[in-house]
Copies of this chain bind each other. A is one copy, B any other.
């Protein structure tokens, strides 16, 4: 029970730093102090281990982000609060998204299950974003919501990468707020132009 967590802790750290191929069972074993064979007692194979890491980190990240989900205020206020929450969660636990993006960028013949899992949980996030946009701007048609959701996620990914690359100088919270504001404005304008649904 406790060993399983130690293994996952070690793996999230290594895989978050070096990606799928860069994560060797021997390295995980060294970092968590358990022999390699013990890792195979808890996980079917490396693929299973990485997938488990993705699952667990996503759950951790989800609770960190969702807890203070706010339901009142103007659309802009609510969007800004959400953006700040996401930004802070990414600063605190960047391993999830870093590893996920590395997996997502790869294109290998037999796709690691961890990649599939990441794309699935990412889709859940996208679903949430779509719902929020639809709720805040009911006038938007489906295509517009889709475009905005894509753009919203893209900005989040991109800003996260900027921080990973450039370092702490990047004020992630401020940039996420700028991003939220721009998405909000775009949605506002699109909604004004669009004919009401129905």
Q: B-contacting residues of A (Cβ < 8 Å)?
A: 16-22, 98, 101-102, 104-108, 119, 122, 147, 150-151, 153-159, 161-162, 164-166, 170, 174-175, 178-179, 182-183, 185-186
Please tell me if the beta carbons of A19 and B17 are within 8 angstroms of each other in the complex: no
Which among A19, A21, A147, A166 has the greatest number of chain B C-beta atoms within 10 A?
A19
List the B residue with the shortest CB-CB distance to A179. B151
Please tell me if the beta carbons of B159 and A151 are within 8 angstroms of each other in the complex: yes
Please tell me if the beta carbons of B164 and A151 are within 8 angstroms of each other in the complex: no
Q: Which chain B residues lie closer than 8 Å to A183 at the CB level?
A: 182
Complex Cα distance A101/B22, Å? 15
Please tell me if the beta carbons of A22 and B178 are within 8 angstroms of each other in the complex: no
Q: Which chain B residues lie closer than 8 Å to A105 at the CB level?
A: 19, 98, 101-102, 105, 161, 164
Q: Which chain B residues lie closer than 8 Å to A106 at the CB level?
A: 17-19, 22, 102
Please tell me if the beta carbons of B147 and A178 are within 8 angstroms of each other in the complex: yes
- For the complex, would chain A's binding face be called helix, strand, loop or mixed by DSSP majority? helix
Q: How many copies does the complex hold?
A: 4
Q: Which chain B residues lie closer than 8 Å to A165 at the CB level?
A: 104, 119, 122
| Cβ distance A22 to chain B, nearest Cβ, rounded Å | 4
| Cβ distance A130 to chain B, nearest Cβ, rounded Å | 14
Complex Cα distance A29/B16, Å? 29
Q: Which chain B residues lie closer than 8 Å to A107 at the CB level?
A: 16-18, 98
Please tell me if the beta carbons of B175 and A186 are within 8 angstroms of each other in the complex: no
Complex Cα distance A179/B174, Å? 18
| Cβ distance A93 to chain B, nearest Cβ, rounded Å | 14
Knowing A17-B108, A102-B106, A106-B19 touch, does A154 contact B175 (C-beta < 8 A)?
yes
* 7 shortest interchain CB distances as A-B pairs: A158-B158, A154-B158, A21-B21, A157-B158, A17-B107, A21-B22, A154-B159
